Amino acid sequence: MASTSPIFISATILLLLSSYAKASFILTLVNNCPFPVWPAIQPNAGHPVLERGGFYLHSLTHRSFPAPAQHWSGRIWARTGCTYAHGKFSCVTGDCGHRLESNGLGGATPATLAQFSLHHGHNDLSSYGVSLVDGFNVPMTVTPHEGKGVCPVVGCRADLLATCPQNLQVRSPPGHGRVVACKSGCEAFGTDELCCRNHYNSPQTCRASSFSEFFKHACPATMTYAHDSPSLMHDCSSPRELKVIFCH
């Protein structure tokens, strides 16, 4: 019987351990809000849909599922005020195509977004952040566990519905209902300058506005306009878990 090289055995074990580490990487969505949310997950083009794109999450519960073992990028947000009536599913904020399982569809703004790029770079980096570029509907943080390197908690813990400027407020029902979301300046006014379009679509010409500064002042560890830079840089390698917490 032919002998097997110890070096070959060691390399095989390392490969198996690496595959196991990736396979054991999990995403956990935690609803800490005093109301139910319906998380939605949208992959970027070319990446698989996770958990059929959306599900129901009762108050003070969580749901964990395996993260992809290969490179994956996409976004997660909370839908609120969802109902199913007359054969139609719809949400007051974050609605995606009137579907519970959105199967990768985008969501209606305004909504707080968690953005991810998993398994990239030679050190198996996971990048993550919370964006208020498309406005705000619930507080949200992303918390890594057991990563190597610089792995900060990022996001927005403030309830911006209570302080949202009147000209950015979304109310339900419209008019005199309660504030359910806070628009970006781009969505509220639609100018090229606020939306960083056309001439303003570059890091040199896309600038913070009084509206983005409202979000940045309350939640400095977020992105608040298209070419914004997050205040907390990270270089997080091989985390065991990334936890998205709504109403942290």
Asked if residue 17 is part of any domain, the answer here is no
Distance between CA atoms of 196 and 206, rounded to whole angstroms? 5
Distance between CA atoms of 1 and 79, rounded to whole angstroms? 61
Per-residue model confidence (pLDDT) at position 229:
80
Distance between CA atoms of 205 and 68, rounded to whole angstroms? 37
Per-residue model confidence (pLDDT) at position 205:
96
Per-residue model confidence (pLDDT) at position 175:
87
Between CA 174 and CA 181, with CA 179 as vertex, the angle to 5 degrees is: 100
Q: What percent of the chain has pLDDT over 90?
A: 83
Asked if residue 11 is part of any domain, the answer here is no
Residues 6+ apart with CB under 8 A from 49: 41, 43, 103, 104
Per-residue model confidence (pLDDT) at position 15:
46
Asked if residue 21 is part of any domain, the answer here is no
Mean pLDDT of the chain: 90
Asked if residue 178 is part of any domain, the answer here is yes
- Omega prior to 110 cis, within 30 of 0: yes
The model's confidence at residue 18, banded by pLDDT at 50, 70 and 90, is very low
CATH number at residue 212: 2.60.110.10
The model's confidence at residue 235, banded by pLDDT at 50, 70 and 90, is confident
Report the number of distinct structural domains present in the chain.
Answer: 1
Has residue 219 got a pLDDT over 70?
A: yes
With CA atoms as reference, report the closest residue to 109 among 55, 184, 168: 184
Q: What percent of the chain has pLDDT over 70?
A: 89
Counts of helices then strands in the chain (DSSP H, E): 4, 15
The model's confidence at residue 17, banded by pLDDT at 50, 70 and 90, is very low
Per-residue model confidence (pLDDT) at position 234:
76
Question: Torsion over CA of 177, 61, 131 and 97, rounded to 10 degrees?
Answer: -60
Distance of CA 191 to the CA centre of its chain: 25
DSSP 90: E
Asked if residue 19 is part of any domain, the answer here is no
Backbone angles phi, psi at 130, to 5 degrees: -120, 130
Distance between CA atoms of 52 and 144, rounded to whole angstroms? 23
The model's confidence at residue 231, banded by pLDDT at 50, 70 and 90, is low
Asked if residue 130 is part of any domain, the answer here is yes
Asked if residue 20 is part of any domain, the answer here is no
Per-residue model confidence (pLDDT) at position 233:
63
Distance between CA atoms of 192 and 2, rounded to whole angstroms? 70
Q: Each residue of 42-76: pLDDT tens digit? A: 999 999 999 999 999 999 999 999 999 999 999 99
Its domain, for residue 32, covers 26-246
Q: Each residue of 109-149: pLDDT tens digit? A: 999 999 999 999 888 999 999 999 999 999 999 999 999 99
Burial (CB count <10 Å: 0-12, 13-18, 19+), residue 133: buried
H-type helices in the chain, by residue range? 6-23, 185-189, 192-195, 210-218
DSSP 164: -
